[in-house]
Every structure is written in C-alpha cells, then in structure tokens.
Amino acid sequence: MGRKFPSPAGEAIAGGAILVLATALEAVQVHYRAGWVFWLWLLAVIAGLTLLRRGLNGVRLDLGTRVVAGLLAVVVVAVIVVPFVLVVLVGSFQSRIELLSGPHIWPTHFTTQFYGQLFNAGLGFGSTAASVYGQAYRNSLIVAATVAIFTTLCALLGAYAIARIRFPGRGAIHSAVMITYMLPGIILFVPLVGIIKSLQLVDSLPGMFLGHSAIILPFVVWLMVGAFDAVDPDTEYAARVDGASRFGALRRVVLPLILPSVATTAVFAFLLSWNELLFAKVMYISQTPMLAPTIVNFMDPINRIEPQLSAAGMAASVPVLLLALLMQRYIIRDIGEGSVK
Amino acid sequence: MASVRLEHLGKTYRGGVNALQDLTVTIPNGEFVCILGPSGSGKSTALKLLAGIEEATTGRIFFDDQDVTLTTPERRDVAMVFQSYGLYPQMTVAENIAFPLMLRKVPRAERARQVEEVCKLLGIGKLLRRYPRQLSGGERQRVALGRCIVRNPRVFLLDEPLSNLDANLRVSMRQELRRLHEILGATFIYVTHDQDDALAMGDRVLVLAEGRLQQYDAATRVYQYPANRFVASFLGRLPMNFFSGALETRGDLVMFRNADLLLAVPDGKPPVTGTATLGVRPDAISVRSAHPGKEAPVGFVRWLEVVQPDLYATIEIGSHRIIAKVPEGEALEVGQPAYLHFNPAKLHLFDPATGDRLNPAPEEAAPAGTRRREALA
Amino acid sequence: MSVLGVRRRRSPSDLAIKGEQRFYAGVFLLPTALIALGLVAYPLVYSLLLTVRGAGDLPGELGPWIGFSNWTHLVGDPVFRQSFVQSVMYVVPACVVGVGVALAVAVVLNQDFPGRRIARACLLIPWALPPVVVAAMFEWFLDARRGLFGAWLTGLGITARPPDFFSGIPGTLFTLVGIHVWKTFPLLAIMFVVALQYLPQETLHAARIDGAGMLHRFRYVVLPHLRPTIVAAVIIELLITLQLFDLIYALTLGGPGAYSTYNLYFYAYKNTFEYQDFGYGAVLAYVVSALVIVCALILTRGRAARSQLAGG
C-alpha cells in the first residue's frame, strides 16, 4: 500500500470507515449464512486496523498504536470473560429452558432457585447431591484456609533458613526444594494415603489437611525463598548490628518488607488446595466431600442440571476470584518478578 | 546537514508538569550547540522533542524550513546518542553500526564498506566482532556514534553522552567530538549539565532553567556576559559573589553602594539609579594582606581553599562573605585583615527583581560559529 | 538475650559463630523439615520401593520383592507408548500456542490505553478459576447440540453445523489443549507484561530513530530482551501440561474411544486408582517425574550455559 492518503487524518478515517462498513456487511450477511463473508470481514478488519493505526499515529505520537491496542484488548478480555460470564455467571440465574435456548446477557426470568438447591438439603431435583455440595463447600473452605496459613508459616521459617542462614547442607536442601516442587503430586499419593490410613485419618478433615499440606508445601517454600531473595540482606545486618536478635530482626525489619509476598503466597496455597481434585477424590469415602470432586459429580451427563452446575461453578469461583481481585496488584507483581529473576 | 529552528516550543506532561515553555531559537546549519542546564531544566525534554520520541504540546520544529513537528522519529532523519548508548546487546559492534543501513536495505557489501569507513574514523576497527557487554564505556560510546554517523543525518543529537565516563576519558572524548564535528560538518546539538562540557565544545551555548530559555549566545559570551543572575551563578567553577545595594552617580561615574562596599561600575551605560544586585566572580577579585588604603574594602580572612591551580580565600567584610582569589606570592593566614581589589571590567549588574542583566554586553566581536580559543578569564 | 545481661554491642563477626547458626537453622527449619521428611521424602522412597515390590496384602504394606518386571512392562506396553506420544501432543501445541498467544497479549496490554489495569486484572480470572469449573464451563460452551460457541459458528456461517468438539480422534485431544491454553496463557502473559516493563527505553528510542518500524522494533529490541522470560514461560507451561489431569478426568475420562485423550499422568492415575496396580502406577509416576525433571534441567542449564558462553 503506497502513500495514497493526503493526510494522516484521512488515513485514519479510511481505516475506521472500513471497519464500520465491513462489520455492517457482516451483520447483514448473518441472515444468509454465507460463511466466506466472515473471512473477508476478518481481512477487512486487519486492513482497517492497520490503516487506523498508521493514520492516528500521524495525528498524535503513538495515538494509533494505543487506540488499536485498546481495541484488541477488548477482544482479549472478551475471550477471557465471555465464556465465564455467559455460561457460569449468568447461567446460574437462569431457568433451565432459558439456558438451553441460547446466550442472554441478562436472564429474563431471574431466579436463585438453583443456589438454594445447592446448599439446602432435600429440595428440588437431585436433592441428595445438593446437600453434599454444601458440606463440600464448607470442607474445602476449612481445609484450604488452614493449609494456606499453616504451609505459609512453615515455609516462611524454612525459607528464611535457606535464604539467610549458612548451615551445612544448605545447598543440597535448596536443590531438593527446587526438585520437589516440580514433581507431580501423584507420586506421593499412594504412600501418603497409606500414612493417613495408618493414622486413621482417611475421609476426615485433618487427613485432608495433612495431605494437601504435603503436596503444597514444597511449592510454597520455593515461593518464599524467592521472596526472601528479593530483599536486600543489608537491612537485616544493620538491625542485628544494632543489637536485635535473629528473630527480632526478622520480625521488625524483614517481615514488613515481604508481607505482600507472604500474602500472595498464602493466596497461591489457598488456590492450590481449593482447586485440588485428585487427592480430594481419593480421600473421600462418605464423610468428607470436597469441592472439586463434587463438581465433577455434578457433571455426570445423566444427572446433570445445567443451571445447577452453573450455580455450583459460580459459587466455587467466588472465593478464589475475590482473593485474586483483592491481591491482584501484588499477585501480578510476584508472578512477573519471579520470572525475571 | 540542516539548520534547526524552534518556535514557541513547549511540553507539558500529563499531570501538569511544565517541562519546557516557549522556546524560540534558531540554530544555523553546521553549528555545535550545547544545551546547558541543571536537572529539571527541560534540556532532555528539548532533545526528545527534537528527536521526535516525545510530542510537543505547543510550538513547532523546523529542519531547514521543513515542519517536522508531527513527523515520527523514524522519518525525521536525525541521529541520537543516548546517555547509556542504547546499543543492541545481542548484536556485534559491526551489526550495531550496520543496523540503520540494513533497515534501509543497503546491500551487504556496501554495508560492510561503510561500517569499515566509520570504524576507521572512530578508531574502533578492532572491536567489530565484539558484543556491547564486552566493551568499555568509551568504546560503547564510539559504537553509538558510529551508528549515528553511518546514517549521515541532518542533525546529530547527543544526550549527556560523556556523563558515564571517567574524568580523563571525558577530556579526550570532548576533543574527539569536536574533531568529528569538524570532519562531518553536521549540526550537533549536545545536552549536558556540565558547564565544562558546554564551554569546551559548543560554538554556542543555550542555557535553560525550569523549562525556560535563559541565554543563547557564544560560549565565551555566556561566561563573560551572563544575561541574568541564574546564568551568572550557574557558570563558573566557584560560586559568584552577589551583593545587594543601590546605584548612584558621582560626577561622571556610576557607583554601586551598600553598607560595606562602594565601587565604580564599568562604563556600560547601566540605568543610573535604583537598586541593583552586583555580581562578581571570585577570580575577578584579588585579596591581599591589608595595607592602610582609602577605598579598598577591608575584611578578615576566614577560610583558605585550594581550587586548582589557584588559592582562594573567603573574606568576611561586614555582613558579607566574599570568595576571592589569592594572587601568587601572597601569603595569608586565617584571621588576618585583608583588603580586596575588584576588577572593574568584570562587574555584573542585575535587576534585583527580574534578575536580568543591567549593564549591557558589548557587541559581538566575531560571528558565532568561529571556534574560539581564548582563555576564559 | 536478657539472660546475658547488658553487653558490648554485637559485631557482625559475632553473628557468624557456627554454633549459633546451626541452632537457629534447626529451629527455623524444624516444622518444614518434619513435614518434608514425613510426608514428602518418605512417600517418595516408598513409591520407589513400590515399583519393585508391588503392594502387599494389607493396605500400606509393601509386598515381596518382584524384581524389575514393572519397569520392563513399560517397554512392551502399547498404552504406555500411546500415552507418552499423546503427552507430547499435549505439551508441544500448548507450549507453542500458549507462549505465542501470551506474548501477543502482553505486547497489546503493554500499550498505554484507558482501562489497561482492568484488562490486566482480567488475566487473573482463568488462572484463579478451579480447573473443574473451567471444564464444566467449556463442556457446556462447546457442546455440539446446545453450546453457545457452536451456535455462533453456525450463525456466522463459518460451519454448516456446530462441530462436535468432544468426539473426534484426535480432535478431542486438541480441544483439551485449547481449553488448557485458555486457562494457562494468562499466567504467561502476566510474566511477559512484567518483563516488558523492564524493557530498556533508550534502546527502543534508538531503534525508532534508526528508522525501525513496529515489527523491526519487536524483532530486534523486544524479542531479544524477552528471551529469558520466554524460556521460563516455556518451562512453566511444559511442567503444567505434563501434569494435566483435571481437565481430562472431568471432560473425557480418557476417551472417546479407548485411550485417545490419555496422557502419562492420567494413565498413571488409572493404574493406581482404578486397576489398583500400585507397582506399575508408581513406575508411571516416576516416568512422569523423570520427564519433568529432565526437561526442567535441560531448559535451565541451557539458559545458564548460553549466558556463560556469551558473557565476557
């Protein structure tokens, strides 16, 4: 494409016009179901966006790049959000018939009956499954929270030792941590279940807690070692030269600095436990249902009730989404910093 | 090669920060101009606007009468050397220098030839296969220069390129840059906060402070005839002495008077009366052991300090502390009385309110652009 | 501390006394070490023993020595071979597409436009969601008869009828890869976004001034800067994908057909928990672990070696 346009503004307008026209055409052709028009539309969009970007860049520095990036970002967000919102979020409030009939942005008959079914015992369809869900939800909440706190604390101490204290075998232990966190959990499961069985804790909350702690701990330790590595040891030495003990220095100087990382690590640990499927399923016999396996049971094609499944998924998503939302700034920073090192 | 003209150039950043205001200047073709100013003065902003990597809020930029204000940096045909050189770390020196040529689809043989020519000019032929991380600061800077030279641009922009070098290297690089300027004959615009750089290299110096132009003049004149109080205090290795007082006439002469001083002001036709600020550089005042004398100010030596290659004394007279030069052969001790002699030709008067110069500078003796080799007195 | 009373100020050399070091190290490490030993190290060893001894009669007991038959069984097992190959079929597209998409998204989200913060925050949604919820969501979304995605495809005329994403061989496997990429690319994108914030602005400006347009700048400035992050992203995606389980279990249970969406991890699960063949299951688990470690080592060593060669 040569320099055909007299001015950058003209180029930009041309680009915009192409986009609008092409989309209008595409909307019309939907009636006629001519698939090849779609691909033409795609090409037109690419051409239009390119012109728009070049044109706007001539009007103001980088304006075109930013506008086009903004438009593309809408697409990215849509790809991420649309399936979730339409199927899970909105779906959970729709009646069964409505859900089956196609996408709606807002349910025409808003209902919370399926949430009620989930958590109350003995009502509506599939009543036996519903009450189990309530239990599973509670159990997972308890286990995930306790595992998160416990492993983070242990890891805090352990990682401090690895990162700061020079002791014999330090290198070996560090390497061991590196390797273990990468290992697939399945390699631990059989003996782990065996140990828990011998403690007579199968199918119980403490048993679940132990199992998850074992699986999650190496990863959490690795995260915390990374967090300590990011802190300059000199601040600590200064505190100790001034007379503080190791504990004191840790508490007063280092802890405030790594507090955000500790929080994000706890969130990671919570997520891992909350989302965990295999171990939770294996450990469950009758007493201690856990969330992930229970949702899988809801997916059984024979017994499946779509809005109820959506409600189950939505309810299961709320805690983790909330946590992610609250800590987003720090989570993003920690994920990114961890990879830069 | 191009002349550069700025008209009312201004830049305000988001959040209301006024980096540059109303800069209007014409830089003739082939000149070496230094933009000098403290940090925050807007000098780097001005350079970025010239390069096109920032966009001006107001005003325009012309290269050879062509309006390039809205031209993207890729098409402006300028070249820039950055403070940290901006070399491509994954390319060899040869590839770095050849990069602009490669972008313009110059065939390989021709690229190699031009690279070699540039390297000969800069003396870096041995480094062609090395990577930037294997080079010293001075070597990296030459590679950055090479990358610019190879493009034969209209304007060379340099952003404090010597600030990361150690002192000896700076001195030799200054000479190198002037030599390059002579050979290439292009317009060089050089930004720095170091007055030694500016005074040593620039044909003209453009002094900026807080985003505004303070003075644009030949290097010697910026030092000898500062246009306002800021320029006067910014330039000079030692801080200028300032005194507030009033002007009065005594017969044919115009006198400056305050509680402790009474001096005859040079004949430059300042306004005859009114309050004024007097500025004198330390090396325009000489201090000697006190002999009884009628009009020389008498004070006491408070401090002695060597600022190579001279000795300077801080003298207390009344409420003033004045820094003055100790002539060779004079022996002074702290606490002893001393008298000061002010060189009447080197007195600067400033309006106490605006800071502007009151006694006008003499007309320019030589046209700007001539390289000056006078010692800076 | 108070026991010793008031003393002279401690100097750093005091703090380096070995005995004190060991004491503190022990204290700090104790809780972690206990759990690690009891619940991690011991199971690892136990699993290894399982591979050569099989399970005993009582749960939790090891059986008698049976030699390496479990290991040799690997060689002749066609399902193992298929699982292995299919693991690769999961990993390679996931890494390529996942890292590629993440890179593109990161470049887009690195520009300055209103709402950028929100867009970046949205990246956390797929990462935070439980895999089973993602599975349920896509099972419905991609459903052949009533799923929204199929309805859109036919509505736009791209396909005549809604495609059946979960019944083809090997189509279903790639559907799973797609869902998996949807879930994991945001994590990688975040890594790239943060890495991009460290992009040296001067080099970028220099490239612009040299005349490099957007694509050239990407190729010669951005991409070289991101190389270490790309390697890290590939490693992470590889590790995650090798251990992919939840999606397979929730969506296809290894089907359609006999083994068309199996991977090594799932096969190990099958042996251990369905066929109750603990010995062989442990063998498979160790194979997966070995793969994970070998890949990680190769990729990280590669990075270290390369930077050593290039450094001066």
Q: Tell me the CATH number at A287.
A: 1.10.3720.10
Q: Which residues, in sequence order, are CB contacts of A176 under 8 Å at separation 6+?
A: none
CB B355 within 8 A of CB B228: yes
* Same domain (yes/no): A23, A72: yes
Closest-CA distance of chain B to residue A81, Å: 32
* Same domain (yes/no): A34, A94: yes
* Same domain (yes/no): C35, C129: no
* CA distances from residue C52 to A188, B218, C48, C73 in whole angstroms, order as listed: 16, 90, 7, 12
* Same domain (yes/no): A64, A120: no
Judging by beta carbons within 10 Å of its beta carbon (0-12, 13-18, 19+), is residue B6 exposed, middle or buried? buried
Domain-embedded: residue A109: no
Task: Please give the residue range of the domain that contains residue C252.
Answer: 69-310
Band of the pLDDT at C309, cuts 50, 70, 90?
very low
Instruction: Give the bridge partners for B205, in sequence order.
Output: B34, B217
Question: Which chains form contacts with chain C, at 3 or more CB pairs under 8 Å?
Answer: A, B
Domain-embedded: residue C287: yes
Domain-embedded: residue C201: yes
Task: State pLDDT tens for residues C179-206.
Answer: 999 999 999 999 999 999 889 999 999 9
A55 and chain B: CB distance < 8 Å anywhere? Answer: no
Band of the pLDDT at A271, cuts 50, 70, 90?
very high
Closest partner CB to C213 (pick from B74, B78, B99) = B74
Task: State pLDDT tens for residues A226-263.
Answer: 888 877 777 777 777 777 666 666 677 777 888 888 89
Closest-CA distance of chain C to residue A73, Å: 7
- Test A339 with C229 for CB contact under 8 angstroms: yes
Cis check for the bond before C162: say yes or no (omega within 30 of 0). no
Tell me what ipTM this predicted complex has: 0.85
Distance of alpha carbon A301 from alpha carbon B40, whole angstroms: 68
Domain-embedded: residue A3: no
**Tens place of pLDDT per residue across chain B (377 aa):** 788 999 999 998 888 888 888 899 999 999 999 999 998 888 999 999 999 888 888 999 999 888 888 888 888 889 999 988 889 999 999 999 999 999 989 899 999 999 999 998 888 888 889 999 999 888 999 999 999 999 888 899 999 988 888 888 888 888 889 998 988 888 999 999 988 888 888 889 999 998 899 999 898 888 888 888 889 889 888 888 888 888 887 777 777 888 777 777 766 566 667 788 888 899 888 888 876 555 566 788 888 888 888 899 998 888 888 899 998 888 888 888 888 888 887 888 888 887 777 777 666 654 444 443 333 33
* Same domain (yes/no): C45, C85: no
Task: Please give the residue range of the domain that contains residue A209.
Answer: 115-340
Per-domain residue ranges of chain B: 4-231, 238-350
Distance in Å from the first CA to the final CA of chain C: 48
Residue of A62, A92, A156, A186 for testing the chain C interface, max C β-carbons within 10 Å: A186
Do the domains spanning B4-231 and B238-350 agree at the CATH topology level?
no
CATH number of the domain bearing residue C89: 1.10.3720.10
Please list every residue in chain B whose beta carbon sits closer than 8 Å to the beta carbon of residue C202: 82-86
Please list every residue in chain A whose beta carbon sits closer than 8 Å to the beta carbon of residue C128: 271, 317, 320-321, 323-324
Closest-CA distance of chain B to residue A61, Å: 6
* Same domain (yes/no): A129, A237: yes
Amino acid at B31: E
* Same domain (yes/no): C127, C40: no
Last residue of a domain, one of A74, A100, A126: A100
Domain-embedded: residue C205: yes
- Test B54 with A59 for CB contact under 8 angstroms: no
CATH 3.40.50.300 for domain B4-231:
yes
Q: What pLDDT does residue B371 have? A: 42
Distance of alpha carbon B306 from alpha carbon B327, whole angstroms: 12
* Same domain (yes/no): C233, C290: yes
Closest-CA distance of chain A to residue B14, Å: 14
Which residues 140-179 on chain B approach chain C with CB closer than 8 angstroms?
144, 147, 151
Last residue of a domain, one of A34, A67, A100: A100
* CA distances from residue C49 to A101, A181, C43, C272 in whole angstroms, order as listed: 55, 21, 10, 15
Average pLDDT over residues C89-95: 94
Q: Which residue is closest to C312 within chain B, CA to CA?
A: B134
* Same domain (yes/no): C218, C122: yes
Domain-embedded: residue A58: yes
| Total of domains in chain A | 2
- Test C158 with A218 for CB contact under 8 angstroms: no
- Test B72 with A60 for CB contact under 8 angstroms: no
- Test A165 with C38 for CB contact under 8 angstroms: no
Closest-CA distance of chain C to residue A66, Å: 6
Q: Kind and range of the H or E element at B217?
A: strand B212-218
* Same domain (yes/no): C28, C152: no
Domain-embedded: residue A192: yes
Asked if the model's pLDDT at residue A66 lies above 50, the reply is yes
Asked if the model's pLDDT at residue C214 lies above 90, the reply is no
Please list every residue in chain C whose beta carbon sits closer than 8 Å to the beta carbon of residue B54: none
Domain-embedded: residue A39: yes
Domain-embedded: residue A105: no
Please list every residue in chain A whose beta carbon sits closer than 8 Å to the beta carbon of residue B70: 8, 58-59
User: Could you write out the DSSP letters of every residue in B125-188?
Assistant: GGGTT--GGGS-HHHHHHHHHHHHHTT--SEEEEESTTTTS-HHHHHHHHHHHHHHHHHH--EE
Distance of alpha carbon C174 from alpha carbon B314, whole angstroms: 84
A10 and chain B: CB distance < 8 Å anywhere? Answer: no
The sheet that has B253-257: what strands, in order across it? B262-264, B253-257, B241-250, B274-280, B348-350
Which residues 32-71 on chain C approach chain A with CB closer than 8 angstroms?
32-33, 35-36, 38-40, 42-44, 46-47, 50, 59-60
Closest-CA distance of chain B to residue A7, Å: 11
* Same domain (yes/no): A95, A145: no
Distance of alpha carbon B319 from alpha carbon A42, whole angstroms: 81
**Pick from B265, B274, B209: nearest CA to B43:** B209
**Pick from B37, B364, B362: nearest CA to B230:** B37
pTM of the model: 0.84
* Same domain (yes/no): A73, A210: no
Q: Which residues, in sequence order, are CB contacts of B186 under 8 Å at separation 6+?
A: B1, B30, B152, B153, B154, B155, B156
Residue located via tokens 């290992």: A183
B97 and chain C: CB distance < 8 Å anywhere? Answer: no
Q: What is the distance, to the nearest Å, from the Cα of residue A51 to the centroid of all Cα atoms in its chain?
A: 37
* Same domain (yes/no): A141, A247: yes
At residue B155, the 3 state secondary structure works out as strand
* Same domain (yes/no): A254, A296: yes
CB B211 within 8 A of CB B35: no
* Same domain (yes/no): A165, A237: yes
Band of the pLDDT at A303, cuts 50, 70, 90?
low
Give the CB-side neighbour count of residue A134, counting CA atoms within 13 A.
14
CB A318 within 8 A of CB A310: no
Please list every residue in chain B whose beta carbon sits closer than 8 Å to the beta carbon of residue A57: 72
* Same domain (yes/no): A86, A123: no
* Same domain (yes/no): C157, C289: yes
Distance of alpha carbon C223 from alpha carbon C250, whole angstroms: 37
- Test C214 with A65 for CB contact under 8 angstroms: yes
| Total of domains in chain C | 2
Query: Left, alpha or beta for C211 (phi > 0: left; psi -120 to 50: alpha)?
Result: left
Please list every residue in chain A whose beta carbon sits closer than 8 Å to the beta carbon of residue C123: 80, 332
Distance of alpha carbon A188 from alpha carbon A190, whole angstroms: 6
CB pairs under 8 A between A and B: 11
Give φ, ψ of B54 to 5 degrees: -125, 155
Residue of A61, A62, A65, A66 for testing the chain B interface, max B β-carbons within 10 Å: A61
Please list every residue in chain B whose beta carbon sits closer than 8 Å to the beta carbon of residue C208: 52-53, 72-74
Mean pLDDT of chain C: 81
Q: Which residue is closest to C210 within chain B, CA to CA?
A: B100
- Test B78 with C209 for CB contact under 8 angstroms: yes
Residue located via tokens 């070496």: B32
Please list every residue in chain C whose beta carbon sits closer than 8 Å to the beta carbon of residue A298: 136
- Test C47 with A190 for CB contact under 8 angstroms: yes
Please list every residue in chain C whose beta carbon sits closer than 8 Å to the beta carbon of residue B104: 211
Instruction: Give the bridge partners for B187, in sequence order.
Output: B155
At residue C252, the 3 state secondary structure works out as coil
Thinking of the domain B238-350, which architecture would CATH place it in? Beta Barrel (2.40)
- Test A57 with B55 for CB contact under 8 angstroms: no
